[in-house]
Structure 1
Amino acid sequence: MCEEYSLSDIWDMAINYFDEDARQKSWYVIVSFLGKNHTDAWINKDKPLPRYELEKCLNLLDKLKYKIPLHRIMKKRFFWKDEFFVSPYTLEPRPETEAIIEISMNYKSETVFKPKTILDIGTGTGCILLSLLKEHKDAYGIGVDISTFVLDTAKQNAENLKISNCDFVLQRFGESEEVSMNSISDNYIDGSNHYFAAYENNVLAGRTFDLIVSNPPYVNTEIDYATKFDPIVAVFHDEPTRITNKLPLAENGVFLCEVPKYLMQSYEECFKTHYKWHKSGHPEILIFEYSNFG
């Protein structure tokens, strides 16, 4: 027989895993995790929890104990102006990446360049592409990634935000030859060979885009706590500038990419001219801008 606990009991235990505003934060997390109405939860906080809710609460306490980030526990994170669903297969959206959206906003008032087509390489949750499409309402966007599981996450976010002027495509980018099965995590192969079909058919062949954006995997050193719970293939890459190979950028198009400072020289060597750097909200991360003008 499972020991009885009330919501108040769980609350008392959860407080130990929070530093600032412990009582308020822990209450919010518990109630949100259970999907309860806060008023109803408060009124009934001293009643024994049903077994299924108790099991969920104990699972939550385990996650808090091992310091899993709250956004991972809650499976959602706010980015730009909206809340996005985050799955185990996607990178967690981060505030410094919002600088890509901010820079693109400068184009809205320009008469020479207004993006009508947008490509997001390594779309993940779709947060960059979908946020851009909400700002550039007349544009059409394609998000590409190497996993059907990732694309399902992006599609779910598009549906949640009621954005229909986009498609999500299974595609690996910047490869000069077919990738071996061993080069991709098992979680990124769905067993149906759809990945390789998309690669061989090259669904983006012949298309160019006014605006190409990316927050690619670029970590080639030891992982830190901030990325510990992100999927490895979304974080690490031995050749982080590979995505710049044969970019389908339209004439007068713009490429915006999140880049760590230690890769500045590599990007400058790839593009040579017509580029500039922008600050982001992170001291070690910049946004690279390349303009494909004349």
Structure 2
Amino acid sequence: MKIKEYRTQFITSLSPIHGEDEAESFFYLILEQKQQLKRIDLALQPDLVLSQDEIVIWNALLDQLKLEIPVQYLLGKTSFYGLDFEVNENVLIPRSETEELVEWIIEVQKLNNNSPLRILDIGTGSGCIAISLAKNIPNAQVYAVDVSEKALATAKKNAALNTVDVTFIHQNILETDDLLQEFDVIVSNPPYVRNLEKVEIKKNVLDNEPHLALFVEDTDALIFYKKIAELGLKNLAPNGLLFFEINQYLGKEMIGLLQNLNFKNIELRKDIYGNDRMTKSNI
């Protein structure tokens, strides 16, 4: 069968579940990963053919996509901030909003002439934040913490894949009283989705991505932010910076928390979708 013909069948069968645009994006992701072909290759060579063995592979992926298993998990990898990352059921799939947080930190460090600094990423998951910062900030010593040993195993693979040196630490931050050294930057994208917001979460996320990295109790939604900010008071260097990715509905509450802990120069930024998503502050 011609790939062009299979493309039509693939998109038609997935569109009722995922929408036509997303179904088309899945097709081209798989085309690149499994066939080493890009969209332009198909346009220039419309008579390219899938073998019967290749069709079997494509159909197996199609069946799993119909069950709303994330395409990134099926392919075992994704792209974040221009880098490749392995992903699996033990780590969240990196989001574009988090890329904006990474970009903000890099922008700030460029203003500081990329002076030597220590960076700590708390709740690193796949390692996407820590690794992207290590790759893009010269002279940075980067450390990354996670409570999940399986997540850390994935993050270590990703550091090797992207040829960066990151020190990974297995640690439960909620049970940590002191980080034992100073950092110039502490950044975290901790669990922040309240249980009451589960109704807003897509099925492919709710059924497949690790709840440990996603959800917090409705009655204590800022538990990680409060703990990390308190550690920041102890372990940030003078004028050290604290960056957070936050729940879009809790921007005011986050500012209040930081103000109550006497953080200064608190800035709240929206993401590309217009939602309150990131904060920066310093001690």
- Shorter-chain TM band: 0.7 to 0.9
CA–CA separation in structure 1 for the residues paired with 2:193 and 2:51:
48
- Residue 69 of structure 1 deviates from its aligned partner by 3.2
TM-score of the pair, normalised by structure 1: 0.74
Equivalent residue for 2:216, pick from 220, 234, 237? 237
Q: Secondary structure at the match of 2:97?
A: helix
1:133-144 paired onto structure 2 within 5 Å: 133-144=134-145
Q: Which residue of 1 aligns with 2:237?
A: 250
Structure-2 separation of matches of 1:66 and 1:6: 25
Amino acid in the other structure paired with 1:263: L
2:170 matched residue in structure 1: 170
> What displacement does 1:12 show?
5.6
Counterpart Cα distance in 1 of 2:25 and 2:82: 22
CA distance in 1, matches of 2:221, 2:108: 27
Correspondence for 1:58? 59
Q: Is the 8 A contact 1:7 1:48 kept in 2?
A: no
Aligned residue identity for 2:11: I
Distance 1:87 1:213 in 2: 23
Amino acid at match of 2:10: A
User: Structure 1: how far apart are the matches of 2:248 and 2:26?
Assistant: 36
What is the aligned counterpart of 1:287 among 259, 262, 278? 278
What CA distance in whole angstroms lies between the structure 2 residues aligned with 1:44 and 1:73? 24
Structure 2: tracts of 5 or more residues without a match? none
Change (3 A) 1:46 1:86: closer
**1:64-117 deviation line (CA, Å, top 9, x unaligned):** 212333333323222222122211111111111122222221232226x84610
Equivalent residue for 1:208, pick from 182, 185, 192? 182
Residue 59 (structure 1) shift: 2.4
Q: Name the amino acid aligned to 2:103.
A: E
Q: 1:95 to 1:10 in 2, by over 3 A?
A: same
1:46 deviation in Å?
A: 5.4
Partner of 2:81: 80
The equivalent of 1:110 in structure 2 is 112
CA distance in 2, matches of 1:31, 1:102: 29
Displacement after TM superposition at 1:264 (Å): 2.5
Identity %: 29
Which residue type is aligned with residue 287 of structure 1? Answer: M
Contact kept, 8 Å, 2:4 with 2:47, in 1: the verdict is no
Q: Which position in structure 2 is the counterpart of 1:28?
A: 28
CA distance in 1 between counterparts of 2:140 and 2:94 reads: 22
- Aligned residue number for residue 257 of structure 2: 270
Asked whether the 8 Å contact 2:121–2:188 carries over to 1, the reply is yes
Aligned to 1:157: 158
Q: CA deviation at 1:233?
A: 0.9
Q: Distance in 2 between matches of 1:37 and 1:261?
A: 38
1:140-166 superposed Cα distances (whole Å, 9 cap, x missing partner) = 1111111111011111111111002x1
Higher mean alpha-carbon deviation, 151-160 vs 12-21, is at 12-21
Matches of 2:50 and 2:279, distance apart in 1: 54
Does the Cα contact within 8 Å between 1:6 and 1:46 map onto a contact in 2? yes
SS of 1:260's equivalent?
Answer: coil
How far apart are the structure 2 equivalents of 1:98 and 1:9? 35
The answer to whether the 8 Å contact 1:208/1:250 transfers is yes
Secondary structure, aligned partner of 1:101: helix
Cα deviation digits, residues 21-80 of structure 1 (max 9, x gap): 96x7565344445x33448x988735432xxx5653332121121233333332322222
Q: TM-score with structure 2 length normalisation?
A: 0.77
- 1:14 maps to 2:10: yes
